[in-house]
Structure 1
């Protein structure tokens, strides 16, 4: 009895199974996303829009701190940061490449203690 070489594999059954699974996923995916409760919200005349603040903190190569282009000490910057909302407001850090790493760490430490979530470290290409 002579054995034949197994050179080719029939992938047609595999494609059939994949297509059936794809149809099942697509059919059920539309029902999962529509499980929210629809509520008609009332309107008020004293509607207040929430605006996000974007704060720029910069440190030059001499170690001078700037809060939105205003030269301030680290203590005054900390006071101003404590008045902001850490979940809404965005803080952008602009550090000079020749500044000491300690200046960066001190700003990050203040932001971490307050619990800021939106922090951007600005670099250039």
Structure 2
């Protein structure tokens, strides 16, 4: 048997692994720094942009409901929203002191009309 200690260590596999890890880190770091993967979108000569503005629903402490600044009732909100396309997005701005039931009533109307793009506006707490 050969009981001599190993005099050399083969570091080539270790260097290979470290280079692969360095490549992975550098590739993901560029995506993280940019925040998104850069792509070039295709272009057309006659592009129609169907940009639709959010519909805003505001709920006040007194129980009033406003659709784009116009005061409505829960029933008239349903009547006005039924004519809108289903991909319409809604932004709900509710006072923090309103009854929770008022918020649920409005979201229930939107759910019954099959609207899925609904957001609730909030404000960052002061630090």
Q: Give the gaps of 5 or more residues in structure 2.
A: 1-9, 28-42
Determine the C-alpha separation between the residues in 2 that align with 1:108 and 1:18: 54
Q: Per-residue displacement from partner, 1:53-97 (whole Å, max 9, x unpaired)?
A: 31110110011111111111111111111111222x220101111
Question: What corresponds to 2:30 in structure 1?
Answer: none
**Runs of at least 4 residues off by over 3 Å:** 17-23
Determine the C-alpha separation between the residues in 1 that align with 2:60 and 2:81: 19
Determine the C-alpha separation between the residues in 1 that align with 2:105 and 2:11: 61
Residue range with higher mean Cα deviation, 115-124 or 94-103: 115-124
TM-score, length basis structure 2? 0.61
Q: Give the gaps of 5 or more residues in structure 1.
A: 1-9, 27-39
1:86 to 2:86 alignment: yes
TM-score, length basis structure 1? 0.62
- Within a 5 Å distance, the mapping from 1:53-72 to structure 2 comes to 53-72=53-72
**How well do the aligned residues superpose, as a CA RMSD in angstroms?**
3.3
Q: 1:95 to 1:18 in 2, by over 3 A?
A: same
The alpha-carbon deviation at position 49 of structure 1 amounts to: 3.9
Residue range with higher mean Cα deviation, 113-122 or 62-71: 113-122
Between the two proteins, the alignment pairs up a number of residues equal to 99
Question: What corresponds to 1:7 in structure 2?
Answer: none
